[in-house]
Amino acid sequence: MSQIDSPAMSATSARPTFVRWRILGLLVAISFVSYLLRGNLSIAAPAMMADLQLSEIQWGWVMSAFPLGYALFQFPGGVWGGQVGPRKALMLIVVAWAVLVALTAAIPSPSMASTTVLLGALIGVQFLVGVAHAPVFPVVAASIERWFPVAGWALPNGLTSSGLTIGLAVTASALPWLIEAYGWRLAFVMLAPCALAIAALWWWHARDRPTQHPSANTAEVAMISGGRAPDGIDEAVEVGSGAEPVWLRVLKNRDALLVTLSYACMNFVFYVVFSWGFYYLVKVRGFGEQDAGFLTSAQWIGAGIGAALGGWIGDRLCRRLGLRWGCRWPIVIGLLASAALLLGVALHPKAEVAAALLGLCFFFNQTTEGPYWATATAIGGRHAGAAGGFMNTGANLMGFVNALLLAAVAQAFGWTVAIAIGAGFAVAGAVLILFVRADRQVEQSA
């Protein structure tokens, strides 16, 4: 007899256990490790370019490989994660991260291979790194959908976003020291065990559903299951039973499309800070590199706080107002605040004020993360991984748009206009989310 079914457990089931929060702690750790490993290439760029004798143009091709693989495999990765289950899916992809970061360190040197060979190898490995990282947040969202009650998804998703910002902050501060002390190859190899450790811990403790976990009592299972339809048949069975495939249902869903477009607009602002923030502070506003590095780290810490706060507020509003407006309000407020602050960044004459406004803009931008993922989770239901993958595909394709558009506009019209464009995207995202119905699910079964 399992612990869930035992009479002793039934007698004490008035108070739910807290297994879901341990699961969330592991998901936050996975998010942390994801960004700890995926942010290493940009930090190691000077050392790697010098060692491999690559030009800026050649390095640009290397840097483009990750986001291409990452964007293309968001949606397929989310569908795959829903079919095999979050426990197995996350274990496999985290192990793949460790293998690929070690392969990056094994790229041949110019004395052993031609520039064409080593450049092709580095581009190929980085594309695979993007592919391996692509499913992580759709699958994390699917796990949160299964482990947390309805109207309780925004805070967990916000906390996983906080985990990734902390991962980037640690990478930015620790990796330069490791590279200086041991070289970039050994520094990369030293990061791999972090992925293997969290993969083993996840596989040991996690389960796909609360009913499968021996430590989750009946009260916790009942609380998580409240307000849901029965699970019905699994996604893999549906696909093989003549039902319309899950991926097609998501692609055809109006609300899934609209939340994807809105999230893509929000991510345009994200990429203003992520891709151009440091450059803007140094080259346009005249900060020294050390000062700009300090400001950038502070921005990421503030963004992590914003993601957690936005998720907490989103869940409270969802319980009070329902999924439709509870998910909408934090996004609308966060995006409109981001738009106003970004205009201030573009127009204010003082560099110190502009830097502070940019940090506040990133804070409000990240308050929308939890509510966005809660919206995708609510729309997807049992297919939250596919819905989240679709939404995140649009978000990361926006990274390509941002890189091309801001550079072209800045060259033609100056950085004031380029930065101000982000405000227009933020307003567009706020308008689009008003048409999204988070209380209306994709068809769940045949």
Same domain, 274 and 303: yes
pLDDT at 137: 87
Number of domain units in the chain: 2
What lies within 8 Å, CB to CB, of 35 at 6+ separation is 163, 164, 165, 167, 168, 171
Same domain, 141 and 260: no
Rounded to the nearest angstrom, the gap between the alpha carbon of residue 265 and the centroid of all alpha carbons in its chain is 15
Q: How confident is the model over 107-128, as a mean pLDDT?
A: 89
pLDDT at 417: 94
Is residue 381 domain-resident?
Answer: yes
pLDDT at 56: 67
Asked which of 224, 252, 284 is the last residue of a domain, the reply is 224
Is residue 196 domain-resident?
Answer: yes
pLDDT tens digits for range 344-383: 999 999 999 999 999 999 999 999 998 998 899 889 888 8
Is residue 288 domain-resident?
Answer: yes
pLDDT at 239: 43
Q: Please choose, from the candidates 18, 38, 13, 24, the residue with its C-alpha nearest in 3D space to the C-alpha of residue 399.
A: 38
Same domain, 214 and 253: no
pLDDT tens digits for range 13-47: 468 999 999 999 999 999 999 988 887 777 777 78
Half-sphere exposure for 305 (CA within 13 Å, toward CB): 11
For residue 70, name the pLDDT band (cuts at 50, 70, 90).
Answer: confident
Q: 71 and 393 in contact (C-beta within 8 Å)?
A: yes
Same domain, 141 and 253: no
Dihedral sign computed on CA atoms, order 108, 114, 117, 122: positive
Asked which of 159, 189, 224 is the last residue of a domain, the reply is 224
For residue 235, name the pLDDT band (cuts at 50, 70, 90).
Answer: very low
Which residue shows structure tokens 């939250």?
A: 384
pLDDT at 78: 83
Please state, in angstroms and as integers, the Cα–Cα distance from residue 269 to each residue in 339, 365, 394, following that order: 9, 7, 14
Question: What does the alpha-carbon distance between residue 78 and residue 83 come to, in Å, rounded to a whole number?
Answer: 9
pLDDT tens digits for range 383-432: 877 888 888 888 888 877 777 788 788 888 999 999 999 999 999 999 99
Q: Is 242's pLDDT higher than 70?
A: no
Which residue shows structure tokens 């496999």?
A: 92
Question: What does the alpha-carbon distance between residue 236 and residue 251 come to, in Å, rounded to a whole number?
Answer: 18
Q: How confident is the model over 258-271, as a mean pLDDT?
A: 93
- Reduce the DSSP state of residue 395 to 3 states and report it: helix
Q: How confident is the model over 180-193, as a mean pLDDT?
A: 91
Is residue 299 domain-resident?
Answer: yes
Same domain, 90 and 167: yes
Is residue 177 domain-resident?
Answer: yes
Question: What does the alpha-carbon distance between residue 61 and residue 82 come to, in Å, rounded to a whole number?
Answer: 32
| Percent of the chain scoring above 70 in pLDDT | 92
Q: How confident is the model over 200-207, as a mean pLDDT?
A: 95
Same domain, 211 and 149: yes
Tokens of 262: 């809105």
Q: 346 and 416 in contact (C-beta within 8 Å)?
A: yes
Asked which of 197, 224, 251 is the last residue of a domain, the reply is 224
Helix axes 323-347, 415-433, angle to 10 degrees: 170
Same domain, 116 and 252: no
Same domain, 216 and 251: no
Same domain, 267 and 394: yes
Q: How confident is the model over 83-93, as a mean pLDDT?
A: 93
Q: What is the average pLDDT score of the chain? A: 85
Q: Please choose, from the candidates 426, 406, 154, 82, the residue with its C-alpha nearest in 3D space to the C-alpha of residue 267.
A: 426
pLDDT at 445: 61
Is residue 235 domain-resident?
Answer: no
Which of 50-59, 184-193, 238-247 shows the lowest mean pLDDT across its residues?
238-247
pLDDT at 11: 40
Same domain, 432 and 291: yes
Q: 342 and 390 in contact (C-beta within 8 Å)?
A: no
Domain span at residue 315 reads 243-446
For residue 229, name the pLDDT band (cuts at 50, 70, 90).
Answer: low
Q: 388 and 138 in contact (C-beta within 8 Å)?
A: yes
Question: What does the alpha-carbon distance between residue 410 and residue 407 come to, in Å, rounded to a whole number?
Answer: 5
- Residue 74, H or E segment: helix 74-84
For residue 236, name the pLDDT band (cuts at 50, 70, 90).
Answer: very low
Question: What does the alpha-carbon distance between residue 135 and residue 70 come to, in Å, rounded to a whole number?
Answer: 8
- Reduce the DSSP state of residue 389 to 3 states and report it: helix
Same domain, 299 and 378: yes
For residue 243, name the pLDDT band (cuts at 50, 70, 90).
Answer: low
pLDDT tens digits for range 310-354: 989 998 998 899 888 998 999 999 999 999 999 999 999 999 999
Q: Please choose, from the candidates 260, 213, 229, 203, the residue with its C-alpha nearest in 3D space to the C-alpha of residue 376.
A: 260
Is residue 236 domain-resident?
Answer: no
Q: Please choose, from the candidates 327, 331, 277, the residue with its C-alpha nearest in 3D space to the C-alpha of residue 152.
A: 327
CATH code, domain with 412:
1.20.1250.20
Same domain, 179 and 263: no
The larger pLDDT score, comparing residue 419 to residue 5, is at 419
Dihedral sign computed on CA atoms, order 53, 58, 60, 62: negative
Is residue 231 domain-resident?
Answer: no
Q: Is 238's pLDDT higher than 70?
A: no
